[in-house]
Amino acid sequence: MLGGLQPRQLLTQLLNFALVLSTAFMLWKGLSVATDSPSPIVVVLSGSMEPAFQRGDLLFLWNRGQDTQVGEIVVYNVKGKDIPIVHRVVRRYGGGDEPLQLLTKGDNNLADDTELYARGQDYLTRSTDIIGSVIGYVPFVGYVTILLSEHPWLKTVLLGLMGVMVVLQRE
Amino acid sequence: MAATKIAVYSISDLKNTTDDALPNYLTSLKFKQSHFLTDVRLALGYSAVVIAAITFYADYKLGWDKTKYWTFWAVLVYFTLNGALTFWIWGVEKGKVFAGQIDHPKVGRKSPLSIASSVAKHTPIYNITVEYSNSKGETKTLKLSSPFTRWFDVNGFFVAKPFQQWLALEIPLIGQVDPKNKDDGAKSAASANGESEVDGPVEDEKYDTPKKSTSSDAAPTSTRSRRGKRG
């Protein structure tokens, strides 16, 4: 099928495929720029915020306006760990001239998050640790990504299928 | 072009195969094809893709905080280029499948020719808009339509002759360059009109020379309004 194509046709087909991937990526980056968050959409991975959020819920984050209040649900990254955690702010220190510091706790957890933080860390620094406050969510649709991360080979299959389809299809 | 079998009920297969056959025929007549439209499309598209690739690499290597500022500009430029590409495809290319010119055999002047093709959804009729300059050097626009059955046999093979005859007969500039196909096209059109009472399904043994058109072939030579470009 690809063998009979002229070079320009081949380049055009490849371009279609590359544009699908790059547009998806740049839309994501555009959303990052707009929300000022490195990861503006996250999936809830644990049940620690039940009943507010279930495993698999998709959360939309907003990271502009750094004056986070008690009761807000934030997503943070612990230094040295890659997994973002979604928990509620239960206490705040500083603010104003001093850097704002926060203590968080999962609604469904018995204790606050001090145990989860990095060694020697008793609180989160708003400006560096937090990647956004939750401003909206869609239940369950993020479950696909949980499946994908628990079964990494699914990713390869999915990406391969996409590639083959776009290259072979001329619609 | 190698004869590949296509699904005769797939409009996009019919259109793509015909689109590919057009430049093949015209370049065989010594039309010089211009790739300007495609080259601009490729340049716009690949510039955008390169910007996305650089953004991806920088993000992967340096992380969000260090790349934040440049990511903003990259996103802006990317979508500007993407918009320009979309405009180019819809506003400038408009479904053109051939653009080129020929040293006019009689006038001794270069005559440009461009052909844009389109199909309406679920309608197996090939519509083309032809722009060419006639022997006086004036630019003429022609809108032509023909059912795909004219040059596809029942098995889904493209048959070049009737397609070339159709183009040579309907487009004066091509007719002047390729008089033989023009005359043959005129003959088969005349015989089709004479026999238009005896129409019916195309018999299998005739599929390799389907110059005898059925009456449904002869009818829609009328022009149709074009729909948006697909593909």
Does residue B60 share a domain with residue B171? Answer: no
A170 and B231 in contact by Cβ < 8 A?
Answer: yes
**Residue B207 — very low, low, confident or very high, per pLDDT cuts 50/70/90?**
very low
A25 and B1 in contact by Cβ < 8 A?
Answer: no
Interval B33-63: pLDDT, tens: 999 999 999 999 999 999 999 999 999 999 8
B38 closest CB neighbour out of A12, A18, A30? A12
**Lowest-pLDDT range of A164-168, B1-5, B138-142:** B1-5
Enumerate residues 6+ apart whose C-beta is below 8 A from B163: B18, B21, B25, B150, B151
DSSP one-letter string for chain A: --TTS-HHHHHHHHHHHHHHHHHHHHHHHHHHHHHT-S-SEEE--SSTTTTT--TT-EEEEE-S---PPTT-EEEE--TT----EEEEEEEEEEETTEEEEEEEE-TT-SS-GGGTSPTT--SEEHHHHEEEEEEEEESSTTHHHHHHHHSTHHHHHHHHHHHHHHHH---
Closest residue, chain B, to A170 (C-alpha): B231
The larger pLDDT score, comparing residue B3 to residue B130, is at B130
Tell me: pLDDT of A95 over 90.
no
Distance, CA of B184 to CA of B181 (rounded, Å): 5
What CA–CA distances, in Å, run from B16 to A5, A7, B158? 12, 16, 11
Residue B6 covered by a domain: no
What CA–CA distances, in Å, run from B35 to B27, B53, B178? 12, 26, 23
Kindly list the residues from chain B whose CB atom is less than 8 angstroms away from the CB atom of residue A21. Answer: 52
A33 and B64 in contact by Cβ < 8 A?
Answer: no
- What is the average pLDDT across A34-46? 91
B42 and A12 in contact by Cβ < 8 A?
Answer: yes
Domain range for B127? 11-30+104-199+213-229
- pTM attached to this predicted model: 0.76
Tell me: pLDDT of B19 over 50.
yes
Kindly list the residues from chain B whose CB atom is less than 8 angstroms away from the CB atom of residue A22. Answer: 48-49, 52-53, 78
Residues of chain A that touch chain B, judged by Cβ-Cβ distance less than 8 Å: 4, 8, 11-12, 15, 18-19, 21-23, 25-26, 29-30, 32-33, 36, 38, 170-171
The larger pLDDT score, comparing residue A151 to residue A2, is at A151
Distance, CA of A14 to CA of A43 (rounded, Å): 32
The larger pLDDT score, comparing residue B108 to residue A117, is at A117
Q: What is the mean pLDDT of chain B?
A: 83
Residue B168 covered by a domain: yes
- pLDDT for A4 equals 55
Residue B207 covered by a domain: no
> In this structure, which long-range contacts are made by residues A159-164, counting pairs with CB atoms below 8 Å and at least 24 apart in sequence?
A162/A20, A163/A17
Tell me: pLDDT of B142 over 90.
yes
Does residue B158 share a domain with residue B47? Answer: no
Percent of chain A with pLDDT over 90: 45
- What is the average pLDDT across B121-135? 91
Does residue B150 share a domain with residue B130? Answer: yes
Interval B147-168: pLDDT, tens: 999 999 999 999 999 999 999 9
Q: Record the tokens describing residue A50, joined without a space.
A: 């039940």
Cα R_g (chain A), whole angstroms: 21
The shortest C-alpha distance from A109 to chain B (Å) reads 31
The torsion region of residue B81 among left (phi > 0), alpha (psi -120 to 50) and beta comes to alpha
- pLDDT for A146 equals 86
**Residue B186 — very low, low, confident or very high, per pLDDT cuts 50/70/90?**
confident
What HEC string does chain B produce? CCCCCCCCCCHHHHHHHHHHHHHHHHHHCCCEECCHHHHHHHHHHHHHHHHHHHHHHHHHHHCHHHHHHHHHHHHHHHHHHHHHHHHHHHHHHCCEEEEEEEECCCCCCEEEEEEEEECCCCCCEEEEEEEEECCCCCEEEEEEEEEHHHCECCCCCECHHHHHHHHHHHCHHHHHHCHHHHHHHHHHHHHHHHCCCCCCCCCHHHCCCCCCCCHHHHHHHCCCCCCCCCC
Does residue B163 share a domain with residue B119? Answer: yes
| Class of residue A148 by CB neighbours under 10 A (exposed 0-12, middle 13-18, buried 19+) | middle
- What is the average pLDDT across B180-188? 87
Does residue B116 share a domain with residue B165? Answer: yes
The question of whether A32 is a catalytic residue gets the answer: no
Kindly list the residues from chain A whose CB atom is less than 8 angstroms away from the CB atom of residue B100. Answer: none
Residue B173 covered by a domain: yes
Tell me: pLDDT of B193 over 70.
no
Does residue B118 share a domain with residue B165? Answer: yes
- pLDDT for B215 equals 41
- The answer to whether ipTM exceeds 0.85 is no
**Residue A151 — very low, low, confident or very high, per pLDDT cuts 50/70/90?**
confident
**Residue B76 — very low, low, confident or very high, per pLDDT cuts 50/70/90?**
very high
- pLDDT for B210 equals 43
Query: Which position among A87, A112, A129, A133 bears the catalytic label?
Result: A87
- What is the average pLDDT across A143-148? 85
Does residue B219 share a domain with residue B192? Answer: yes
- pLDDT for B110 equals 85
Kindly list the residues from chain B whose CB atom is less than 8 angstroms away from the CB atom of residue A36. Answer: 68
Residue B204 covered by a domain: no
Residue B205 covered by a domain: no
The shortest C-alpha distance from B49 to chain A (Å) reads 6
Does residue B55 share a domain with residue B110? Answer: no
What CA–CA distances, in Å, run from B144 to A118, B55, B129, B170, B211? 73, 46, 6, 8, 18
Q: Record the tokens describing residue B218, joined without a space.
A: 């002869």
B71 and A32 in contact by Cβ < 8 A?
Answer: yes
- What is the average pLDDT across B65-75? 93
Does residue B131 share a domain with residue B191? Answer: yes
Residue B136 covered by a domain: yes
- What is the average pLDDT across B174-186? 88
Does residue B17 share a domain with residue B126? Answer: yes
The question of whether A113 is a catalytic residue gets the answer: yes
Residue B165 covered by a domain: yes
- Widest pairwise Cα distance in chain A: 68
Does residue B73 share a domain with residue B17? Answer: no
**Domains in chain B, number:** 2
Does residue B73 share a domain with residue B114? Answer: no
Is the omega angle on the peptide bond into residue B112 within 30 degrees of 0, that is, cis? no
